[in-house]
Structure 1
Amino acid sequence: MEYVEIARAESERGELVLRERRQDGSPATVELRANGVFVMDTLETSTEQALAESALAQVAEPRHVVVGGLGLGFTMHEVLRDSRVEKVAVVEIEQALVDWMRDGTIPHGPAMLADERVTIVVADVAVALAEAKPASYDLVLLDVDNGPDYLVHDVNATLYEDPFLQTARRVLRPGGVLAVWSASDSAELADRMRRVFGNAHGYAHDVLLQDRDEKYWLFVSRVTSEA
């Protein structure tokens, strides 16, 4: 196995690295790492797809969607596959990652971002949602970290706490859904979402990550009249 760095950037949050894993006879796999921590790659994308599918399936008219975290674009891409979706705001804090998607450093990036329904917002998702109008979205999909127990950046802990969850609930329309991706089960996160929304459900997904069997989780809450 050969690892080749193809891009690197520094921000106030630390180091962002894009590299390829190359093996004879196989297409190169693009891998994203933040401060040395594996974030995602182009080989195993089923959890990003499942995040979108699980949320989309629970909303009758997911017209306006927020995706927190651009990553390598696969959550956004799955959302755009749904013909009911009219607008997708992707909130990404790292300008470099947006640039790599736009300029083709991430090879599939330009094609993904060409969809006219997409708006890229370079900002902290907590700030972006705090500035959004109440009841303006049908879905908020949070995919900015590895979950509350495996943080890439310590500051992201606030995204799994009551104030942010309350902000997410405020910007969702009645019947709207918040879906949160996590690298592990988290009873505490489920309890917080249940406290804010009045309901929460966790879904486990088996994945193969670099020849290792792993289990990832999605946590979903809906805005109801009782919440």
Structure 2
Amino acid sequence: MEYVVIARATSPRGELVLRERRSERGPTSLELRVNGIFVMDTVETDTEQTLATAGLAAVSNPQKVLVGGLGLGFTMHAVLGDSRVQRCRVVEIEEALVDWLRAGTVPHGPQFLADERVEVVVGDVAQVLTETPASLYDVILLDVDNGPDQLVHEQNAGLYEEPFLRVARRALRDGGALVIWSAAESRTLLDGLAAEFDTAEGNAYEVLLQGRDEHYWLYLARVASPE
């Protein structure tokens, strides 16, 4: 296996590296690492797509969707595959990552971002949602870090705690849903969601990651629809 760095950037949160993974046994792929930690690649994208599918299936008419975390664009792309979606706002704190997709450093980036329903905001998703009018979104999808127990950035701990979950609920319409991806089971997160939302559940799902079986978790919380 050969790795070639395609792009590198630093920010107040550390180092982002986009590298190409080359193998004689398979196709060339891209891999994103943050502070030396593997985040995602272009081979196994089921995680990002499952996050989108779960959120879209949880509501009756997902017209407006917010995605926290651009990554390599696959959650956003899956959201846009649903014709019911009229607007998809993506919040990404790392400007370099947005630039890499826009410029084609991530080859599929320009195509993914060309959809007129997309709005990309460079910023902190917690701040963006705090400033969001009440009852704006039908679905909020969060894949910003690895979950409350395997954080890449310690400052993201607040995204899994009740004050932020309360802000997310306020931004959702009646009947709306919040879905949070986590690398591991978290009873604390589930309890926090149950305290702020009308219903909450956590579901494990299997994924094959770089040749090994993994279990990841999706936490789904709903705002009840009026009778």
TM-score computed with the length of structure 2 as normaliser: 0.98
Question: How far apart are the structure 1 equivalents of 2:225 and 2:89?
Answer: 26
Number of the residue aligned with 1:72: 72
| 1:4 partner amino acid | V
Residue 149 of structure 1 deviates from its aligned partner by: 1.0
Question: How far apart are the structure 2 equivalents of 1:217 and 1:86?
Answer: 27
Residue 224 of structure 1 deviates from its aligned partner by: 1.5
What is the SS of the residue equivalent to 1:200?
strand
Number of the residue aligned with 1:49: 49
| 2:31 partner amino acid | E
Contact 1:47 1:205 in 2 (8 A): no
Instruction: Please state if 1:189 is matched with 2:189.
Output: yes
Instruction: Kindly provide the CA deviation profile for residues 18-64 of structure 1, in whole angstroms up to 9, marking residues without a partner as x.
Output: 00111014211110010011111111111111111111011111000
Contact 1:59 1:175 in 2 (8 A): yes
| 2:66 partner amino acid | V
Number of the residue aligned with 1:36: 36
Instruction: Kindly provide the CA deviation profile for residues 99-126 of structure 1, in whole angstroms up to 9, marking residues without a partner as x.
Output: 0000000011000000000000000000
Residue 153 of structure 1 deviates from its aligned partner by: 0.5
What is the SS of the residue equivalent to 2:199?
coil
Length, aligned pairs only: 226
What is the SS of the residue equivalent to 1:44?
coil
What is the SS of the residue equivalent to 1:120?
strand
Question: How far apart are the structure 2 equivalents of 1:158 and 1:17?
Answer: 25
Instruction: Kindly provide the CA deviation profile for residues 143-170 of structure 1, in whole angstroms up to 9, marking residues without a partner as x.
Output: 1111111111100000000111000000
Residue 198 of structure 1 deviates from its aligned partner by: 3.2
| 2:138 partner amino acid | D
Question: How far apart are the structure 1 equivalents of 2:70 and 2:30?
Answer: 15
Number of the residue aligned with 2:27: 27
TM-score computed with the length of structure 1 as normaliser: 0.98
Unaligned runs of 5+ in 2: none
| 1:196 partner amino acid | E
Question: How far apart are the structure 2 equivalents of 1:41 and 1:28?
Answer: 11
Contact 1:197 1:222 in 2 (8 A): yes
Residue 225 of structure 1 deviates from its aligned partner by: 5.8
Contact 1:95 1:122 in 2 (8 A): yes
Number of the residue aligned with 2:220: 220
Number of the residue aligned with 2:91: 91
| 1:5 partner amino acid | V
Percent identical pairs in the alignment equals: 63
Question: How far apart are the structure 2 equivalents of 1:21 and 1:215?
Answer: 23
Q: Which is worse superposed, 148-157 or 25-34?
A: 25-34
Number of the residue aligned with 1:153: 153
Number of the residue aligned with 1:141: 141
Number of the residue aligned with 1:8: 8
Number of the residue aligned with 1:174: 174
Residue 131 of structure 1 deviates from its aligned partner by: 0.5
| 1:179 partner amino acid | V
Residue 204 of structure 1 deviates from its aligned partner by: 1.1
Number of the residue aligned with 2:109: 109
Question: How far apart are the structure 1 equivalents of 2:45 and 2:184?
Answer: 16
Question: How far apart are the structure 2 equivalents of 1:196 and 1:22?
Answer: 45
Instruction: Kindly provide the CA deviation profile for residues 175-220 of structure 1, in whole angstroms up to 9, marking residues without a partner as x.
Output: 0000000011111111110011132111111111111110011000
Unaligned runs of 5+ in 1: none
Question: How far apart are the structure 1 equivalents of 2:150 and 2:38?
Answer: 11
